[in-house]
Amino acid sequence: MTSELKELINNIIEKEINNINNEGNEVIQKYEYFSFSNFSEINPSPFGNVCTATWQNSTVILKSITIDTSIIDREIICEIENNIKSTEIIPFETTSNNKPRITNAIRLFVNKLRRLVAVDKHKHPNIVQFYGVTTASEMLGYLEPQCILNPRYKCNERSDIYSLGVIFWEISSGRPPYDYFDNKYAIVIHVGKGDRETPVENTPNDFVNLYQRCWDQDPKRHPEIKKVLEELKNMRVSLIDDQKAYHEKWIESKVIEGKINEHNIDEFEDYKLISSGASIKVYRARYKSTKNICALKFIEKNNHTNKELVNELDHMLSIESHENIIKFHGITYEIDRRDPNVVGYVLILEYADNGTLRDFLQKNSTKIEWELKVQLAIQLVEAVKWLHAHNIVHGNLHPNNILIHQEILKLADFGLSLRVIESSMSQTTFGVIPYMDPQCFITERSQNGNTRRYRQNKKSDIYSIGAILWEISSEKQPFKNEDPASLPVRIRGGLRETPIADTPHGYVNIYKKCWESLQDNRPSIEEVAMIFEDFIVQDITENDNFDIFDSSGFEEFITNALGNINFNIELDGTAFGPDEMTLFVYNLYSTFSKLFNEGNSVRDIIINYISQNNKSNEEVFQWLLANNNHPNNICLLGLFYRWNIGTNEDSIEFLNLFVSAANKGDHNAQYFAGRCYAEGLGGTDKDERRAIECYYGTRYIYKKT
């Protein structure tokens, strides 16, 4: 831009600002461009850029406008006139070859400052401070046809109603209107003939009827804004009632089908509040009958929480049990003391005695050995691997929804985790920014000019894992002392935490691969698990001197590794069901785990326990055949086959059963699968690597004391 044109623009703007300020408003401030620094582009477009910048030790948003006479037309000027609302203006750069037209555009722009100042006095929470400038082709889909076809037609309140109708359709469809047209003239012809977008399937009829009246070809038929608002409020009440009924019926159906165990709230006692939120409270409680401890998650009953509850339950029921995912035992209900007709839901969950991962790291800072840190990291990877195998994206992984029971990691809240974190950045959101995929901070324009934001996917979980692995190694919250307002931009630009001294090189490599900026450069969760396996195998072979194929050496090695495993398992039949046989098998497995750790033989432990409880080996074996849907039961069935308990069948199926249970997090099964690979049992050849991989699962599941 020439100096002459720049001076012209500045003079016009300064004159208008002075005129407004002289009238006593004193609301428009002018700042020099060089007073801003550290620019980072957020949303580029042909008409200008939006970026963050540092100003007076704080982060602000700057919006620059590029003026190009080749694309200035009536629609763009209308956009400028109606959308620019900022009361703080700095000189900006422009490009042009047509001074008279530029001058006219700038005059139109600044002449509207008076009206904008007046509007600014009447702020509304649903009116944002900045608007993005759009192209003419994007705008045409929202403009009343008369505004396009008749140059003398003046837009009015009914024109806004037309635009509302189009926006309502976009909300229902999830895409911009008429985005299938190649050029804006096709849109003009389409809407000029009275054609509109087709209603999306399953859209409520009342909503369709409303937006179709809003975009009627005859402006006189457009409803007034008060009528639109009234109808929307009535629709909301009706939809809430319908959704409430749906959610309640869904839960009731799962109880009837036996997929959800139903309990009475009077079965619990000794309540102790653990955490509290806007609509959720979590208590530590105890079963009156068994004295076992559980967590009760009280959920306030409203349409929003009902939807999230169904989402969480659906996810819990869609995957099989895993050792590193918090267990769901059933549901109960709480009657509202203020209104007996209102009943709230209460989820019965596995209790984690060491709180969140964040709590655990802070309480045990400087005391946690590297072996335990690696154990926690592996368990996190295994839990996410299990979710991804069931096509579930967590989408909100951070140390406050990861729990620790004794020294076992438990992933929680994965059913509620697909909620999108809004860009408004609440105080709560600031705390999870270090764990968010940087690409989720980016908005891009597609080929047709529409703005889009990256969606959370499996690779987003991988990034979160990288940040959490760093926190496990450091025992500190990442970027704790950084300015949260500027953190998203800096992370997107490549900011990462520095590796902690003495962290194993292989461990650092893993989390660095996970927190790569581009999703395509990050490994899958299966690849992360394999990298960890290589890391552990290398550690074992370098630091432990034994021959995996030497039976006595391997036996001694495994015995030492298992010597201090904590098998203090709290018995709770609700994990399996209410009947007597399920509780018996649960107790059998728990007793076996304890006695086997003390050196007793597998066959003697199982046979003696069954005999002492007046049952037969065949009876228990047949029950396991019919109920092998839980990892503990699968492992027990493998033991029955391996030691011919309750069956004379000479089967090699036990290896597959051990592997299946091990993949679901059963630690005894990991050990027995390792034995099979080390000794060549179950129809397999001796396999050193597979044996070590099974062994690493056993070794790193527990911290040796």
Q: Where are the domains of the chain?
A: 1-134, 260-349, 357-539, 545-701
Q: How far apart are CA 361 and CA 669, in angstroms?
A: 29
Nearest alpha carbon to residue 132 among 79, 53, 95: 79
Minimum mean pLDDT range among 36-50, 238-252, 344-358, 556-570: 556-570
Give me the pLDDT at residue 333, please.
Answer: 86
CB burial of residue 298 (10 Å; 0-12, 13-18, 19+): buried
Give me the pLDDT at residue 134, please.
Answer: 43
Predicted confidence (pLDDT) at residue 569 exceeds the cutoff of 60: no
Predicted confidence (pLDDT) at residue 358 exceeds the cutoff of 60: yes
Give me the pLDDT at residue 577, please.
Answer: 47
CA distances to 111, 277, 419, 467 from 422, in Å: 35, 18, 9, 20
| Residue 119 pLDDT level (bands cut at 50, 70, 90) | very low
| Percentage of residues of the chain with pLDDT beyond 70 | 70
As a whole number, mean pLDDT of residues 83-106 equals 43
Nearest alpha carbon to residue 466 among 516, 530, 400, 399: 516
| Percentage of residues of the chain with pLDDT beyond 90 | 31
Predicted confidence (pLDDT) at residue 190 exceeds the cutoff of 60: yes
Give me the pLDDT at residue 695, please.
Answer: 65
Q: How far apart are CA 516 and CA 518, in angstroms?
A: 6
In the CATH hierarchy, which fold is given to the domain comprising 357-539?
Transferase(Phosphotransferase); domain 1 (1.10.510)
As a whole number, mean pLDDT of residues 56-74 equals 62
Q: How many CA atoms, within 13 angstroms, populate the side-chain half-sphere of residue 166?
A: 21
- 3-state SS assignment for residue 58: strand
As a whole number, mean pLDDT of residues 606-635 equals 92
Tokens 């004379």 locate to 648
Give me the pLDDT at residue 543, please.
Answer: 58
Q: Which of the 8 DSSP states describes residue 27?
A: -
Q: What angle do CA 531, 534, 539 make, to 5 degrees?
A: 130
Q: Would the CA dihedral through 437, 438, 441, 444 be positive or negative? A: negative
Q: Which two tokens stand for residue 180?
A: 């299938």
Give me the pLDDT at residue 564, please.
Answer: 41
pTM above 0.85? no
Give me the pLDDT at residue 149, please.
Answer: 78
| Residue 445 pLDDT level (bands cut at 50, 70, 90) | low
CB burial of residue 118 (10 Å; 0-12, 13-18, 19+): exposed
| Residue 288 pLDDT level (bands cut at 50, 70, 90) | very high
| Residue 398 pLDDT level (bands cut at 50, 70, 90) | very high
Q: Which residue has the higher pLDDT, 281 or 442?
A: 281
Minimum mean pLDDT range among 116-120, 514-518, 593-597: 116-120
Q: How far apart are CA 32 and CA 43, in angstroms?
A: 22
Q: Which residue has the higher pLDDT, 659 or 87?
A: 659
Q: How far apart are CA 117 and CA 105, in angstroms?
A: 19
Minimum mean pLDDT range among 118-132, 244-258, 304-318: 118-132
Q: How far apart are CA 282 and CA 275, in angstroms?
A: 5
Q: Are strands 343-349 and 328-335 parallel, antiparallel or unpaired?
A: antiparallel
Helix (H) / strand (E) containing 29: strand 29-30
Average pLDDT of the residues of the chain: 77
| Residue 534 pLDDT level (bands cut at 50, 70, 90) | confident
Give me the pLDDT at residue 22, please.
Answer: 67
Q: Which two tokens stand for residue 124?
A: 């509304």
Instruction: Please answer whether residues 458 and 388 qualify as being in contact, where contact means their C-beta atoms are separated by less than 8 angstroms.
Output: yes
Q: Which two tokens stand for residue 360?
A: 């655990």
Q: What angle do CA 440, 445, 448 make, to 5 degrees?
A: 140
Q: How far apart are CA 638 and CA 624, in angstroms?
A: 10
Predicted confidence (pLDDT) at residue 525 exceeds the cutoff of 90: yes
- H helices of 598-687, where? 602-612, 617-626, 631-642, 653-663, 667-679
The single-letter code of the amino acid at 12 is: I
β partners of residue 371: none
As a whole number, mean pLDDT of residues 377-399 equals 91
Give me the pLDDT at residue 437, please.
Answer: 93
Predicted confidence (pLDDT) at residue 463 exceeds the cutoff of 50: yes
Give me the pLDDT at residue 241, please.
Answer: 57
As a whole number, mean pLDDT of residues 419-437 equals 56
Render pLDDT for 3-53 as a digit per residue (tens, 0 to 9).
665 676 677 667 766 776 666 555 567 777 778 888 887 766 555 677 888
Nearest alpha carbon to residue 499 among 509, 489, 491: 509
Predicted confidence (pLDDT) at residue 547 exceeds the cutoff of 80: no
Instruction: Please answer whether residues 67 and 105 qualify as being in contact, where contact means their C-beta atoms are separated by less than 8 angstroms.
Output: yes
Tokens 């034995």 locate to 675
| Residue 496 pLDDT level (bands cut at 50, 70, 90) | very high
Minimum mean pLDDT range among 206-210, 250-254, 621-625: 250-254
Give me the pLDDT at residue 594, please.
Answer: 80
Minimum mean pLDDT range among 252-256, 348-352, 376-380, 477-481: 252-256
SS (H, E, C) 94-163: CCCCCHHHHHHHHHHHHHCHHHHHHHHCCCCCCCCCCCCCCCHHHHHCCCCHHHHHCCCCCCCHHHHHHH
Instruction: Please answer whether residues 375 and 703 qualify as being in contact, where contact means their C-beta atoms are separated by less than 8 angstroms.
Output: yes
β partners of residue 441: none
Q: How far apart are CA 509 and CA 518, in angstroms?
A: 16
Predicted confidence (pLDDT) at residue 570 exceeds the cutoff of 80: no
Nearest alpha carbon to residue 456 among 397, 401, 524, 379: 397
Minimum mean pLDDT range among 65-69, 137-141, 253-257, 320-324: 65-69
Give me the pLDDT at residue 186, please.
Answer: 84
Q: Which two tokens stand for residue 431?
A: 């705390």
Minimum mean pLDDT range among 87-91, 197-201, 203-207: 87-91
Q: Which two tokens stand for residue 476?
A: 């500190």
Superfamily name with CATH number, domain 545-701: Tetratricopeptide repeat domain (1.25.40.10)
Q: Which two tokens stand for residue 86?
A: 């900022």
Tokens 């984690």 locate to 352
Architecture of domain 260-349: 2-Layer Sandwich (3.30)
Give me the pLDDT at residue 575, please.
Answer: 42
As a whole number, mean pLDDT of residues 639-668 equals 88
Render pLDDT for 234-261 as a digit per residue (tens, 0 to 9).
886 566 556 656 777 788 888 888 888 9
| Residue 365 pLDDT level (bands cut at 50, 70, 90) | confident
- 3-state SS assignment for residue 368: coil
- H helices of 390-503, where? 427-430, 458-474, 487-492
Q: How far apart are CA 30 and CA 65, in angstroms?
A: 16
Give me the pLDDT at residue 453, please.
Answer: 62
β partners of residue 61: 52
Instruction: Kindly give, in sequence order, each residue whose CB lies less than 8 Å from that of residue 603, ignoring residues fewer than 6 positions away.
Output: 643, 645
